[in-house]
Amino acid sequence: MRKILVTSALPYANGSIHLGHLVEYIQTDIWCRYQRMIANEIHYVCADDTHGTPVMLMAEKENITPEKLVELVHKEHSQDFNDFNVSFDNFYSTNSIENKELSESIYKKLANNNKIEKKEIEQFYDTEKEMFLPDRYIKGECPKCGAIDQYGDSCEECGSTYNPTDLIKAYSVISGTPPVKKKTEHYFFKLSECSDFLEEWTRSGTLQLEASNKLKEWFEAGLSDWDISRDAPYFGFEIPNAPGKFFYVWLDAPIGYMASFKKLADKKNLSFSEYWEEGSQTELIHFIGKDILYFHALFWPATLSFSGFRTPSKIYAHGFLTVNGEKMSKSRGTFVTARSYLDTIKNPDYLRYYYFSKLNDSMEDIDLNLEDFIVKVNSDLVGKFINIPSRTSGFIKKYFNNIIISTEEISIQDSKQIIDDLISIKEEVISLYEARLFSKLNRLLMSYTERVNEYVNRLEPWILAKNDAEHTSMSMLHQVCSTALQSFRVLSIYYSPVMPDLTSKIAEFYGESNYQSIEAIHKNIKNISDYKHLLTRLDKVSVDSMLRKNSI
Contact residues for RNA, defined by CB under 7 A? 153-154, 159-161, 191, 210, 213-214, 216-218, 221-224, 226, 290-291, 294, 298, 320, 325, 327, 358, 360, 363-367, 369, 371-372, 375-376, 378-380, 382-384, 386-387, 390-392, 394-395, 439-440, 443, 446, 450, 453-454, 456-458, 460-463, 533-537
User: Quick one: CA dihedral 287, 288, 290, 293, positive or negative?
Assistant: negative
Kindly write down the DSSP assignment for every residue of 318-369, as one continuous string: E--EEETTEE--TTTT---BHHHHHHHT--HHHHHHHHHHH--SS---EEE-
Residues in the chain: 552
Q: Which is nearer to RNA, 272 or 320 (CB)?
A: 320
Q: Which is nearer to RNA, 193 or 365 (CB)?
A: 365
Q: Which is nearer to RNA, 184 or 390 (CB)?
A: 390
Element spanning 126, H or E: strand 116-126
CB 338 within 8 A of CB 16: yes
**Pairing assessment for the beta strands 3-8 and 283-289 based on DSSP bridges:** parallel
Chain centre distance of CA 318: 9
Distant-in-sequence contacts of 274-280, Cβ < 8 A, 24+ apart: 274/3, 275/3, 275/5, 275/43, 275/310, 276/309, 276/310, 277/309, 277/310, 278/308, 278/309, 278/310, 279/310, 280/310
CB 529 within 8 A of CB 508: yes
Q: Which is nearer to RNA, 85 or 390 (CB)?
A: 390
Burial class of residue 446, CB neighbours in 10 A (0-12, 13-18, 19+): middle
Q: Which is nearer to RNA, 330 or 443 (CB)?
A: 443
Q: Distance between CA atoms of 263 and 97, rounded to whole angstroms?
A: 10
Q: How far is the CB of 389 from RNA (least distance, A)?
A: 9
Q: How far is the CB of 226 from RNA (least distance, A)?
A: 6
Q: How far is the CB of 531 from RNA (least distance, A)?
A: 9
Q: How far is the CB of 155 from RNA (least distance, A)?
A: 10
CB 71 within 8 A of CB 34: no
Three-state SS at 66: helix
Q: How far is the CB of 457 from RNA (least distance, A)?
A: 4
Residues facing 150 on adjacent strands? 140
Q: Distance between CA atoms of 329 and 173, rounded to whole angstroms?
A: 22
Q: How far is the CB of 171 from RNA (least distance, A)?
A: 21
Q: Which is nearer to RNA, 19 or 363 (CB)?
A: 363
Q: How far is the CB of 212 from RNA (least distance, A)?
A: 9
Q: How far is the CB of 357 from RNA (least distance, A)?
A: 7
Q: How far is the CB of 275 from RNA (least distance, A)?
A: 28
Nearest to 46 by CA among 7, 20, 98: 7
Residue 464: Cβ within 10 Å count: 20
CB 140 within 8 A of CB 170: yes
Q: How far is the CB of 274 from RNA (least distance, A)?
A: 32
Residues facing 132 on adjacent strands? 125
Rg value, the chain, Cα: 27
Q: How far is the CB of 443 from RNA (least distance, A)?
A: 6
Q: Which is nearer to RNA, 41 or 450 (CB)?
A: 450
Q: Which is nearer to RNA, 109 or 451 (CB)?
A: 451
CB 172 within 8 A of CB 129: yes
Q: Which is nearer to RNA, 264 or 481 (CB)?
A: 481
Residues facing 186 on adjacent strands? 119
Q: How far is the CB of 293 from RNA (least distance, A)?
A: 8
Q: Which is nearer to RNA, 155 or 520 (CB)?
A: 155
CB 542 within 8 A of CB 341: no
Q: How far is the CB of 203 from RNA (least distance, A)?
A: 15
CA dihedral 74, 78, 81, 85 (to 10 degrees): 170
Nearest to 49 by CA among 66, 70, 76, 19: 70
Q: Which is nearer to RNA, 238 or 372 (CB)?
A: 372
Angle at 497 between CA 493 and CA 503, to 5 degrees: 50
Q: How far is the CB of 38 from RNA (least distance, A)?
A: 24
Q: What share of the chain is helix, strand, coil (3-state, %, to 5)?
A: 50, 15, 30
Element spanning 294, H or E: helix 293-294
